Every structure is written in structure tokens, then in C-alpha cells.
Amino acid sequence: MPLTLYKRKTRDGRVIYWYKGTVAGCRRRGSTRASDKETAARIASKIETKLWSGEIDGPQESLTFPQAVALYLEAEKPSKYLKKIVAHWGDKKVKDMKVGAIRQSAIDLYPDAGGATRNRQVITPTQAVINHCAELERCSPIRIKRFQFETKIKPHVTLQPVDSVPSSPD
């Protein structure tokens, strides 16, 4: 059943159009926030189109990054570094998040950091969230090239400094 319009009065006496009906097997009801019937019909049509596109095109068409993070956290995965990433992306759809944009987000979030920090705090968590949703068949998996960084090799510890310490008399 498509969405149908009906009138409701607000507390201040104005007439607002609401919609109700079943779309893609889900019962929907809400306000169009429009007092003009023609405008309300256009709004209800847009809502119905949006609901149908999620059903026909698949879940990847409507999955946003905050929804993906919520699925990731429900699976009891680590939440470290995700707060700043979610704030950066906002309500962006996962399908619109491209590799270059994700790499640029690491530069934007940590402009003075090295490659290792950007990989650890942005690239890895973002890729983990998206690939977790891919395992749930909610979107396509993603592969992101990591930033280059210099590994520091520390010298091995020897016993020479320990042997040179004078022993205490007992």
C-alpha cells in the first residue's frame, strides 16, 4: 500500500499533513511538516522513493558510516579512535567513502602526525568498520593502501652494563 496523506491539527490550530502506509513490508507513519497538500504529497513521494530504494537497491545504498560503526560496536569490537572518525564523516554513506577520501581524512584529522599514527588511528579502524559490515553483507569490502613510515630499530640490550655495576657487600 503506498503512503497516504491525512490531516492533523497542531496545538496552535494549524493543519499539518501526515503520511501513513506500508512500504517494502514495513509500516511507516510520520509528519511531512507541510500545511499545503501539494507540498505534503511531494514530501511523501520522496520518502516512499527513499524507502523503496533501500529495498530494491540493497542495504549498501542506505548504510551510513554511523550505522556501520553501530553494527561494529554491537559485535563488541574495540571503539578506540572511532569517535573522532565518526565526527569527521558525519552521515556519509559507506558506498560513497572512497579510498582517496579515507586517506585524506587521515591527513585532515592528524595533519602533524606521521604515517604510523595515521594508519593506526584512522586507516585501520575505518577499514575494520567497513569490512565488518561487508562480512554482514551490508556493503562492499574495501582495501586501503597504508601510509609509509620509517621503522626505528632499537639496539639490543647486552649484559655489559649489568656486569660493570659493583656488587653490594652482604
For residue 100, name the pLDDT band (cuts at 50, 70, 90).
very high
Segment among 28-32, 46-50, 128-132 with least mean pLDDT: 46-50
pLDDT at 27 over 90: no
Average pLDDT over residues 73-81: 93
pTM of whole model > 0.75?
no
* 133 burial type by CB count under 10 A (0-12 exposed, 13-18 middle, 19+ buried): buried
Average pLDDT over residues 92-98: 91
Percentage of the chain exceeding pLDDT 70? 88
Residue 165: the pLDDT is 64
